[in-house]
Amino acid sequence: MKLTGIPASPGVAMGPVFLVETAELPVQETVLPEGEIEAEIERFHQALDRARQELIQIRDGIAAELGPDEAAIYDAQLLIVDDPDALRITEEGVRRERRNAAFLFGRHIGQVAARVGGAKDESLRERLADILDVERRVLVHLLGREHPLADLRVPSVVVAHDLMPSDVAQLDRDKVLGFATDLGGRTSHSAIVARSRGIPAVVALRQLSRAVKSGDVIVVDGHRGEVELNPDERSVRAYRVRRTRLEGQRRSLAELRELPAVTPDGVEIELSANLELPAEVEQVYAAGAEGVGLFRTEFFYLDRAELPGEEEQHRAYRSVAERLAPLPVTIRTMDLGGDKVASYLGTMHETNPFLGWRGIRFALHHPEVFRTQLRAIFRASAVGNVRMMFPMVSSLEELRRANELCAGVRAELERARVPFDRRLEVGVMIETPAAVWVADWLAKETQFFSIGTNDLIQYTLAMDRGNERVAHLYEPLDPAVLRGIHHAIHAAHGARRWVGVCGEMAGDPLMAVLLVGLGCDELSVACPDLPRVKAAIRAVPASLARGVAAEALTLGSAAEVRAVVHERVMPA
């Protein structure tokens, strides 16, 4: 059986299926041996303590930024954590019934939730979400939350209904040959992480996870966006041949490694790599990149039970900066929200998470958490060539507030005589149409732009990048997108600022040429895409690229733009 989805990460993989069943925080009832009762009560106390500490940290941050009214929800949650009934009932239950605390606490909360959910008083019913939030927060600590892929032992192709970006980040590269999911889009974060890690992947396969069972054999073709279940011998042979051919192509591109990304008519492009995890730095060198144009830092915040501290972050940023020096590393400050949710930060269900509490909005709502990250980044700049940029900016006010926080951090570090790079460049990601239209203002108060086309496309074209139903609307060549990019570049250059592009669009060789033609100074792409982009830059004169871009800007549809780009660039 063959199914077609969306190609999310190139490469061909074949192997046994490892099916991930999605179960959320499974709480099992366990009978405790007599000797473990006190230890279980102690574990319960510790879980409550950790939940309390997290809530206090979140509440204080919000109170400082927005005032006590906004922070009140966390006070309400703290009352639930400190509820003497929950404590007494769970403790007594552990002693009397000899059951585990997670089960008893969950049972108690379930009863409270049923009462509250059925209440006539609406304000009481609204408490339900808080109660369930606290339950989850405590259970995460009690259960030590197992990773769904912990049982993966032999090299396999992972099949799941959906995978979170943090799941993909944790996949063991030696055991995961590839993955295929029912949901997702080409620029959903799981797909991006897969590409950067070189894991072949196909997403948006709709019913796949229902059609397979563990033990089936599956082929994932991440170029064509196809999967084939239990292929016959002839197909297997054909896939092997294809895989060998693709590997051969990759090897010949590797010869470009030491060569610069310069066009035949001498325009130098800074060609950098996108980095998802500190451990991937070696790939940046292997790909022949001139630095890191986007270091996503969300991995620090996802899939863990508590906030990362300044020291832990500092160590990671520092190690990346040190290993890359003198090459630059552009650290993107936290871009939580959207499809990257850290439950302990109090994120709640949102109907439109991509239009919600995301990126810089989220960071400015948690100034303490944000400041911790800023300090870690500034401190790391002492040992390397560090740049920093803010995601999802949609107004000058946001940029100013972020800049003010930076100024505060700089002053603090200076007072304490902690070394940092005083010339550290701070930039803004251009990811929203709003940022495009105020780009002239933003450019005056920042040092560079990096255009995040994944988001700029989704917001310009009003298509959710993670929703497979509208995935066909993802169109980097849409005139609305190209004009937005052109406008932002023009505004930046008018203020003598440089501009990069770090969205997936830059990883496509033809589009990269178009971006060079539009005037981009830097392109930052996933490592596996880098050699082909470099080959394209070295093959097409910038003068030709400029002509193609100028013509593209006069055209009314993506199809026309594509035709012109193909016709004029391909023969070169």
Residues that bind Mg ion in the complex, under the rule CB under 5 A:
431, 452, 455
Build a one-symbol-per-residue string for 342-381: x at contacts with ligand PEP by CB under 6 A, - elsewhere.
----------------------------------------
Binding of ligand PEP at residue 388 (CB under 6 A)? no
Whole-angstrom CA distances from 160 to 163, 168, 209, 210, 213 are 7, 11, 6, 9, 11
Build a one-symbol-per-residue string for 498-527: x at contacts with ligand PEP by CB under 6 A, - elsewhere.
----xx------------------------
The CB-of-339 to ligand PEP minimum distance in angstroms stands at 9
Pick between residue 57 and residue 454 the one whose CB is nearest to ligand PEP: 454
Pick between residue 452 and residue 517 the one whose CB is nearest to Mg ion: 452
| Residues in Cβ contact with 447 at an 8 Å cutoff, skipping those fewer than 6 apart | 425, 426, 427, 497
DSSP string, 265-304: T--B-EEEEEESSGGGHHHHHHHT-SSEEEEE-GGGTSSS
Residue 170 binding: pick among Mg ion, ligand PEP, none (C-beta 5-8 Å cut-off by kind): none
Stretch that binds ligand PEP, among 12-20, 262-270, 342-350, 452-460 (CB under 6 A): 452-460
Rounded Cα distance, 405 and 403, in Å:
5
Pick between residue 112 and residue 502 the one whose CB is nearest to ligand PEP: 502
The CB-of-523 to ligand PEP minimum distance in angstroms stands at 12
Binding of ligand PEP at residue 339 (CB under 6 A)? no
The CB-of-455 to Mg ion minimum distance in angstroms stands at 4
Residue with tokens 């800023």: 374
Residue 347 binding: pick among Mg ion, ligand PEP, none (C-beta 5-8 Å cut-off by kind): none
Pick between residue 298 and residue 455 the one whose CB is nearest to Mg ion: 455
Pick between residue 103 and residue 354 the one whose CB is nearest to ligand PEP: 354
DSSP string, 13-55: EEEEEEEEP---S-----BPPGGGHHHHHHHHHHHHHHHHHHH
Binding of ligand PEP at residue 387 (CB under 6 A)? no
Whole-angstrom CA distances from 85 to 79, 89, 105, 442 are 11, 6, 10, 53
User: What does the CA dihedral 289, 198, 373, 416 come to, rounded to 10 degrees?
Assistant: -40
Token pair for 229: 């279940």
The CB-of-500 to Mg ion minimum distance in angstroms stands at 13
Binding of ligand PEP at residue 100 (CB under 6 A)? no
- The catalytic residues are 189, 502
Residue 409 binding: pick among Mg ion, ligand PEP, none (C-beta 5-8 Å cut-off by kind): none
b (16+ CB within 10 A) / e for 225-255: bbbbbebeeeeeeebeeebeebeeeeeebee
Q: Pick from 334, 322, 330, 332: which is nearest to 293 by CA? A: 330
Among 280, 303, 425, 455, interactor with ligand PEP by CB under 6 A: 455
Rounded Cα distance, 288 and 284, in Å:
7
DSSP state of 183: S
Stretch that binds ligand PEP, among 239-247, 451-459, 476-484, 554-562 (CB under 6 A): 451-459
Q: Pick from 385, 212, 276: which is nearest to 284 by CA? A: 276
The CB-of-241 to ligand PEP minimum distance in angstroms stands at 34
Binding of ligand PEP at residue 453 (CB under 6 A)? yes
Among 294, 513, 514, 515, interactor with ligand PEP by CB under 6 A: 294
Rounded Cα distance, 17 and 193, in Å:
20
Binding of ligand PEP at residue 529 (CB under 6 A)? no
Token pair for 130: 């808080």
**Binding-site ranges for ligand PEP (CB under 6 A):** 192, 294, 296, 335, 431, 452-455, 502-503
